[in-house]
């Protein structure tokens, strides 16, 4: 019972994220990326440098089969070397959409 419930919950979370990704706004994502990510990542071609050993967004954007929904999900889950930025789902989707444009 609980497992089914958990599975349903994660399904609806994935669906919500997919919807958010569909409505994502790469322009907003760029603003967010410059605010939250630029300290550590090179987020745009006009940015000269960033701190640390991080992949530039242009490289992340070129990842084969990059899935914006998965990228947005990754951004929502706190992860060891990156601070928990408390992004909303919409913000994560916007940033993911922006990163995808950087790989083009």
Interface positions with ligand HEC (CB under 6 A): 33, 36-37, 39-41, 52, 54-55, 60, 74-75, 81-83, 85, 95
* Structure-token match 């070397």, residue found: 81
- Residue 14 or 55 having the CB closest to ligand HEC: 55
Taking alpha carbons only, the member of 23, 33, 36 closest to residue 93 is 23
CB of 82 to ligand HEC, least distance (A): 4
- Residue 44 or 82 having the CB closest to ligand HEC: 82
* Structure-token match 């916007």, residue found: 94
- Residue 18 or 50 having the CB closest to ligand HEC: 50
- Helix spans in the chain (H): 2-22, 26-36, 57-61, 68-76, 89-102
Q: Angle at the Cα of 29 (from 24 to 34), degrees rounded to 5?
A: 175
CB of 7 to ligand HEC, least distance (A): 26
CB of 15 to ligand HEC, least distance (A): 22
Is 92 within 8 Å of 48 (Cβ atoms)? no
- Residue 52 or 64 having the CB closest to ligand HEC: 52
């Amino acid at each position: 019972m609980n497992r089914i419930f958990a599975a349903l919950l994660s399904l609806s979370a994935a669906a919500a994220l997919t919807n958010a990704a569909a409505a994502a706004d790469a322009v907003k994502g760029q603003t967010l990326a410059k605010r939250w990510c630029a300290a550590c990542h090179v987020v745009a071609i006009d940015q000269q440098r960033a701190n640390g050993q991080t992949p530039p967004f242009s490289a992340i954007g070129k990842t084969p089969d990059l899935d914006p929904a998965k990228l947005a999900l990754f951004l929502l889950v706190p992860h060891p070397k990156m601070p928990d930025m408390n992004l909303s789902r919409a913000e994560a989707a916007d940033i993911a959409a922006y990163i995808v444009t950087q790989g083009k």
